[in-house]
C-alpha cells in the first residue's frame, strides 16, 4: 500500500443536523489517528455544515450531475458541491447504477465533469451475484472500470480512487473472503498499471466496500491490494465508524 489507508464513510440518504455531533466525534478522534486518511460523504444538505464542523477529515459528495449547469431541476453540479466544501465525489455507486439506471457512459461523463471542476473522484465498480456465479466477475469489473474512467491528464494518483463493491455483499450481511477480495483488487491493480504505468498507478488506492463493520474490518483491510474501505451503514455513528478506522490504523506499515 503506497499511501495511508483511506476510510470513507458514505452516509447515503441518512442525516440531518442532529448528526453533526457524530461528524465532530469522528473528526476529533481522527486527529489522533494520523496513520489513516478519513473522510465522510454526507447528503448534499449537510456537506457545507460538516465542512464547517470538521478540521481533520475530508468531506465529499455522493454524486454530481454530468454537466456544469442548466435546466436540471433537483440536480446538483460538481461546482456546486465543491463550493459547499466537498473535495471529492463518489461516482458510479451500485445504488446509482441500479436504482437510477446509470450506465458506464454516464458515470464517465460525471467523472470527467467532476475532475474538470477540481474534485477528486472515487469511482465505484462491482458485480452482481449472477455475474460472479457465472465466473465472469473479474472481466466484468475490469470492463466496467475501463468504460467508466474519464480522461486524466495529470497524475492519476492525485485525483483517482477506485472502490470495489460486490453488489451481492452490500447490505446483505454476506461478505466475500479475503482471497476473493485480494484476487479482484489484484486484477484492478493490473489494469491501473496498464493504463497509468507502475509508478503512477501505485498511488491510486483501491478501496473495498460491502458490509464493512468493526468486526470484519481488520481481515478485509489486510487483504491484498486493499487500500482502505468505503463504508455505508457502519459510518453513521462515530463509535462504529471509528472501530473501522482503528483497524486501519493497526495495519502493519510497509517495510
Give the pairing of strands 37-41 and 58-61: parallel
Q: Distances from the Cα of 252 to the Cαs of 84, 161, 247, in angstroms?
A: 36, 21, 10
- What b-and-e string marks burial along 164-196, b requiring 16 or more CB atoms within 10 Å of the CB? bbbbbbbeeeebbebeebbbbbebbbebbeeeb
Q: Locate 198 and state its grid cell.
A: 507502475
Q: Locate 184 and state its grid cell.
A: 479482484
* Catalytic site positions: 93, 165
Q: Locate 147 and state its grid cell.
A: 468504460
Give the pairing of strands 88-91 and 6-10: unpaired
Give the pairing of strands 37-41 and 160-164: unpaired
Amino acid at each position: 500500500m503506497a499511501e495511508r489507508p483511506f476510510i470513507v464513510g458514505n452516509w447515503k440518504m441518512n442525516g440531518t443536523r442532529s448528526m453533526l455531533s457524530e461528524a465532530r466525534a469522528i473528526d476529533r478522534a481522527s486527529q489522533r489517528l494520523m496513520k489513516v486518511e478519513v473522510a465522510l460523504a454526507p447528503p448534499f444538505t449537510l456537506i457545507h455544515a460538516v465542512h464547517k464542523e470538521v478540521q481533520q477529515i475530508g468531506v465529499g459528495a455522493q454524486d454530481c450531475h454530468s454537466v456544469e449547469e442548466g435546466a436540471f431541476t433537483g440536480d446538483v453540479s460538481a461546482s456546486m458541491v465543491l463550493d459547499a466544501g466537498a473535495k471529492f465525489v463518489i461516482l458510479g455507486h451500485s445504488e446509482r447504477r441500479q436504482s437510477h439506471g446509470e450506465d458506464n457512459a454516464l458515470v464517465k461523463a460525471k467523472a470527467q465533469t467532476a475532475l474538470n471542476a477540481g474534485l477528486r473522484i472515487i469511482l465505484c465498480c462491482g458485480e452482481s451475484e449472477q455475474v460472479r456465479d457465472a465466473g465472469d466477475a473479474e472481466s466484468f469489473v475490469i470492463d466496467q472500470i475501463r468504460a467508466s474512467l474519464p480522461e486524466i491528464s495529470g497524475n492519476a494518483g492525485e485525483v483517482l480512487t477506485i472502490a470495489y463493491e460486490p453488489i451481492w455483499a452490500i447490505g446483505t450481511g454476506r461478505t466475500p473472503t479475503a482471497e476473493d477480495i485480494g484476487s479482484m483488487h489484484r486484477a484492478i491493480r493490473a489494469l491501473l498499471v496498464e493504463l497509468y504505468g507502475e509508478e503512477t498507478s501505485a498511488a491510486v488506492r483501491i478501496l473495498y466496500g460491502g458490509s464493512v463493520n468493526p468486526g470484519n474490518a481488520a481481515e478485509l483491510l489486510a487483504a491484498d491490494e486493499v487500500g482502505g474501505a468505503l463504508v455505508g451503514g457502519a459510518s453513521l455513528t462515530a463509535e462504529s465508524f471509528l472501530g473501522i478506522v482503528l483497524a486501519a490504523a493497526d495495519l502493519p506499515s510497509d517495510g
